[in-house]
Amino acid sequence: MATTPSISTAARAKYEPIIGLEVHVQLLTASKIFCSCSTQFGAPPNTNVCPVCLGLPGALPVLNRKVVEFATLAAMALQCRINETSIFSRKNYFYPDLPKGYQISQFDKPLAELGFLVIQSANGPKRIGITRLHVEEDAGKSLHEGFAGAADSTAIDLNRSGVPLIEIVSEPDIATADEAYQYLTALKEIILYTGVSDCNMEEGSLRCDANVSVRPVGQEKFGTKAEVKNVNSFRFIKEAIEYEIERQIEVIESGGKVAQETRLYNSVEGKTYSMRSKEQAHDYRYFPEPDLLPLVVDEKWQAEIRATLPELPEARRQRMVTEYGITPQDAAVLTETRALADQFESAAKAAKNPKRVANLVQSELMGRLKAKGLDIEHSPVSMAGVAASADLVESGAISGKMLKDLYNLCFERGQDFLQVYDEAGRPEQSRDTSALEKIIEEVMAANPKQLEQYRAGKKTVIAFFVGQVMKASKGQANPQMVNELLARKLATKLNS
Ligand code: ADP
Ligand code: MG
Ligand code: ZN
């Protein structure tokens, strides 16, 4: 939980926050960016290494073609302009886990620029600009937990050295911590749809640095920014930004100046701490990497990559609303992952009523999957099963309550719907109306006021009666039958 400094609402209202995010995303290639070492996560330390990624003298980098394709695909999904020619540069700095003493990155000529994505801000859709998307290699990892019995020692694992990354830099268009959260959520969703990364934050496949400044409302010039580094969840990033905004306002309000610095977020305390000043440091002495040719992604190659671009989440949601007559909220839930959306659509196409499929997937399937820790690809109930079960409810052959019981059996036994339905002897809900008619009579007798309202012309109370009858039948009744019988019975009451 963020423990924010106590500044007054009045002080808060005098300032406008500015936020820009730098996001590193690891690409899902099998091998590293400049050598053929594996990128596999969790391998024993220093086993996925070779002279290139160890930075041994004389070793030469060879660019992985797949990295270029993945990076370009991500850039296209983020509406960027692709630079036909981009340049790899050396970013020089010393760090124990950076054996070459420089990182191969891109600087003044990145792969892609001028993109954007759209978030749903408090004031409606808002476009957040993407300044650039460039390609670079990851550094190794320092493990400060100690090793070989020496608790105060640091070990270095170079498995990650040379793993391909893209860095996505936003424009300073983000105005609140909430918008930053929205931006990251939308960005992650788009990247996941392209399939170029798993965006797994626990494994470091997605990392975010947040640049935060505040300025007095009405002032044109940006305030001095602080950069909060390496926060490992979206929720913590939001908290860190909230904390930073308040901290900076407090500094200014009490007559101080915000320092340009790098800060770290402590999620236990909910506070950021100064890590290093940025003022004196950081001249990376970038220069073009002499061991790599300029990267050329010509029109033909760009067209080939563009042809593999999937339908993106927002466009897909809009299409699904029109195509299946579902609500935007349904569409938002059902497109949470590309796999879920694919599965839903296959069932929706096979079933008579896609809206019923949408409800069924959300109310009966997703919760049960979550409880079992399964993703949709491992659902015991296949999409053919979902479609078949939706049709059975649609035709009135089985009730909602029966469907629930059958789904419970599916999940208990790990069997698909039709198998369970067959083994249960293809049960049908009762079409015997006498029992239902009795319930209806009872419900009417118990609710004379509503009946009077109906007589007086208030036709909407019929919904009330339907609800009461369903309740009295413990969900067993066929809603279609209830509606028909009720309409008939009520009509007779009009004349009595
Ligand atoms: P640096 O050279 O310090 O890394 P950049 O100009 O590359 O700074 O910007 C890095 C990120 O910081 C970008 O996302 C950018 O939008 C954002 N940014 C730049 N200036 C500010 C500012 N004054 N306040 C907040 N964010 C900023
Ligand atoms: Mg930066
Ligand atoms: Zn290697």
Between 337 and 276, whose confidence is greater? 337
- Which ligand 1 atom is nearest residue 173's CA? 16
pLDDT at res. 146: 65
pLDDT computed for residue 124 by the predictor: 87
Amino acid present at 20:
G
- Nearest protein Cα to ligand 1, atom 15: 20
Q: Kindly report, residue by residue over 418-450, the tens digit of the pLDDT.
A: 998 988 788 777 666 777 888 888 898 899 898
At 473 the pLDDT is 80
Least confident of 30-39, 299-308, 418-427, 487-496: 487-496
- For residues 392-418, average pLDDT: 89
**Local confidence band at 77 (pLDDT 50, 70, 90 cut-offs):** very high
Is the pLDDT confidence value at 349 over 80? yes
Cα(267)–Cα(380) distance, integer angstroms: 38
Q: Residue 149: which pLDDT band, with cuts at 50, 70 and 90?
A: low
The tokens of 233 are what? 């969840």
Q: Are 334 and 344 in contact (CB under 8 A)?
A: yes
Q: How many CA atoms lie within 13 A of 20 on its CB side?
A: 17
Q: Is 171 in the pocket of ligand 1 (CB under 6 A)?
A: yes
Q: How many CB atoms lie within 10 A of CB 47?
A: 12
Indicate whether 476 pLDDT > 80: no
Q: How many angstroms separate the CA atoms of 191 and 180, rounded?
A: 16
Among left, alpha and beta (phi > 0; psi -120 to 50; other), residue 475 is: left
pTM of the model: 0.79
Q: Does residue 20's CB lie within 6 angstroms of at least one atom of ligand 1? A: yes
In terms of pLDDT, which residue wins out, 435 or 184? Answer: 184
pLDDT at 7: 75
Does the beta carbon of 468 lie inside 6 Å of ligand 1?
Answer: no
pLDDT for 157 equals 93
Residue 170 Cβ inside 6 Å of ligand 1? The answer reads yes
List C-alpha distances in Å: 321 to 132, 170, 335, 341, 355.
Answer: 32, 30, 11, 12, 10
Higher pLDDT, 248 or 488: 248
Asked whether the beta carbons of 375 and 459 are under 8 A apart, the reply is no
11 versus 107: the higher-pLDDT residue is 107
How far, in Å, from the CA of 390 to the mean position of ligand 1?
51
CB atoms within 10 A of CB 403: 20
How far apart are alpha carbons 239 and 181 in whole angstroms?
Answer: 10
DSSP codes joined into one string, 355-393: HHHHHHIIIIIHHHHHHHT--GGG-SS-HHHHHHHHHHH
What are the residues whose beta carbon lies below 5 Å from ligand 3 (ion)? 35, 37, 50, 52-53
Q: What is the pLDDT of residue 495?
A: 62
The pLDDT, as a whole number, for residue 455 is 85
CA 379 vs. chain centroid, Å, equals: 21
What integer pLDDT is reported at residue 296 of this predicted model? 98
Residues recorded for the chain: 496
Q: How far apart are CA 171 and CA 65, in angstroms?
A: 29
> Quick one: average pLDDT of 139-148?
80
pLDDT over 70 (residue 148): no
- Mean pLDDT in residue range 146-172: 88
Classify residue 150 by its DSSP letter: B
pLDDT of residue 55: 93
Q: CB within 8 A of 207, min separation 6: which ones?
A: 23, 24, 201, 230, 232
Q: Are 303 and 311 in contact (CB under 8 A)?
A: no
Which position has the token pair 């919904």? 463
List pLDDT tens digits, range 289-329.
999 999 999 999 999 999 999 999 989 999 999 999 999 99
Whether the CB of 22 sits within 6 Å of ligand 1 = yes
Rg of the chain in Å (alpha carbons) = 30
Q: Indicate the top mutation candidate among 134, 211, 279 to test ligand 1's pocket, ranked by most ligand atoms within 8 A of CB.
A: 211
| pLDDT-wise least confident of 143-157, 355-369, 370-384 | 143-157
pLDDT number for residue 90: 96
| Edge-to-edge strands, sheet with 226-231 | 81-82, 112-121, 124-137, 164-170, 15-26, 206-216, 226-231, 261-266, 271-277
Of 165-174, 367-376, 430-439, give the lowest mean pLDDT range: 430-439
Probe residue for ligand 1, chosen from 128, 225, 263 as the CB with the greatest number of ligand atoms within 8 Å? 225
Residue 110 Cβ inside 6 Å of ligand 1? The answer reads no
Q: Of all residues in the chain, what percent carry a pLDDT higher than 90?
A: 57
Closest CA to 30 of 41, 38, 22: 38
Q: Encoding tokens for residue 334?
A: 């059902």
Only one residue has tokens 């209830």, namely: 482
Residue 279 has pLDDT above 70, yes or no: no
The pLDDT assigned to 277 comes to 73
Does residue 228 register a pLDDT over 60?
A: yes
- How is 313-353 classified by DSSP, letter by letter? HHHHHHHHHHHH---HHHHHHHTSSHHHHHHHHHHHHHSS-
In this prediction, residues 168-193 reach a mean pLDDT of 95
CA atoms within 13 A on the CB side of 323: 13
Cβ proximity of 472 and 440 under 8 Å: no
Q: Which structural domains are found in the chain, ordered by start?
A: 9-300 (no CATH), 313-423 (no CATH), 433-495 (1.10.10.410)
Confidence band (pLDDT; 50, 70, 90) for 72?
very high
SS3 per residue for 206-232: EEEEEEEEEEECCCCCCCCCEEEEEEC
Which tokens sit at 454? 């109906």
- Pick the residue with more confidence: 230 or 35? 35
Amino acid at 70: F
